[in-house]
Amino acid sequence: MKGLYAIYRKEMGHYFVSPVAYVVVGVFLALSAFFFNYFLAAVMQQAMQMQMQEMEMGMHPNIDVTMEVMRAFFGLLSTLVLFLTPMLTMGVFSEERKRGTMELLMTSPITEIQIVVGKFLASVTLFAIMLLPTAAYLVFIYVHSDPVPPWRLLVAGYVGVMLLGGCLLSLGSFISSLTENQLIAAVLTFAAFLGVWVIDLGRNAGGGAGNVLEYLSVIRHFDDFTRGVIDSSSLIYYASFMILFVFLTVRAVDSMRWRRA
């Protein structure tokens, strides 16, 4: 446990002295703020148009502005996460290998599991820190909405983004453990993310294969969360995904001892 904490602490320190983390978090916050504003304006305008139609033709407007904005916003967060998390994980192991510090870690009395899990938890923490300021936008919505939307929506949305992020971080760490080159790690991670993203399209195949592909898509499960639903099958899916890739990373780090030439 102490070894794990030592790694975690070192990683957190590393994130906050490296420019990469600041750039990624900064870009993420700037883009999310911009799009939040944009969605809000767009949905408001749409609502206004519908209200005018109601006055002209006596139809009941059927738009929940809050819900629409929040769903669009969580969808946006997931897309930004897709583009930006490869930058957070690209150096996790490849940089250690390149600098030769992997040799220090692997000749110290700590296990591969402590190294991998410590690093994973640090990246998840940084991810949470990155998300935190965006909650301010949603609090703004809650303050100005009437009636106040259920808090479940907000909580489920963030749980979903965190789980999605955790999956991508575990996958990214695994890929980073396979190469010494950060750039290769980032590109491959991005490609792999896109892969697990678009598996979702496979559900159109229909039948048994379609169902399996639909279940395997990270984004399909995410949709439930944006509707305020915390589904146990999605929780199991995300948990299995993370455990699988953390385990694979442990194996990959362990195999470095044998692969080294």
Partner 1 sequence: MIEVQDLTKSYGSVIAVDHVSFTVNKGEILGFLGPNGAGKTTTMRILTGYMPATSGTARIAGFDVFDDSLEVRRHIGYLPEAPPVYPDMTVASYLDFVARIKNVPSERRAERVADAMHKTNIEDKRDQLIKRLSRGYKQRVGLAQALVHDPDVIILDEPTVGLDPKQIIEVRHLIKGLAGNHTIILSTHILPEVSMTCDRVVIINKGKVAAVDTPENLTAQLKGGQKIRVEVQAPERSLQELLAQIPGVSRTQIEAAHANGHVTATVEAAAGKDVRSQIAAGVVQKGWPLFELRGVSLSLEDIFLELTTEDSAHSEAAD
Binding site for partner 1 (CB under 8 A): 2-3, 5-7, 9-10, 13-14, 17-18, 99-101, 103-111, 257-258, 260-261
How far apart, in whole angstroms, are the C-alpha atoms of residue 150 and residue 83?
30
- Residues 191 and 83: their CA atoms lie apart, in Å, by 10
Whole-number minimum distance, CB 86 to partner 1, in Å?
Answer: 21
105 or 154: CB nearest partner 1: 105
- Cβ proximity to partner 1, 43 vs 105, nearer residue: 105
Nearest distance, CB of residue 16 and partner 1, angstroms: 10
Whether the CB-CB separation of 166 and 122 falls below 8 Å is answered with no
Gap between the Cα atoms of 71 and 66, Å rounded: 9
At closest approach, how far in Å is the CB of 187 from partner 1?
24
* CB nearer to partner 1: pick between 144 and 260: 260
* Nearest to partner 1 of 143, 261 (CB atom): 261
Kindly state the smallest distance separating residue 189's Cβ from partner 1, in Å. 22
Cis bond upstream, residue 133 (ω within 30): no
Question: What does the chain look like in DSSP terms, one character per residue?
Answer: -HHHHHHHHHHHHHHHHSHHHHHHHHHHHHHHHHHHHHHHHHHHHHHHHHHHHHHHH-PPP---HHHHHHHHHHHHHHHHHHHHHHHHHTTTTHHHHHHTHHHHHHTSS--HHHHHHHHHHHHHHHHHHHHGGGHHHHHHHHHH-SSPPPHHHHHHHHHHHHHHHHHHHHHHHHHHTT-S-HHHHHHHHHHHHHHHHHGGGGGGG-HHHHHHHHHH-HHHHHHHHHTT---HHHHHHHHHHHHHHHHHHHHHHHHHHHH--
Nearer to partner 1, 1 or 57 (CB): 1
Nearer to partner 1 by Cβ, of 13 and 26: the residue is 13
Q: Which is nearer to partner 1, 96 or 214 (CB)?
A: 96
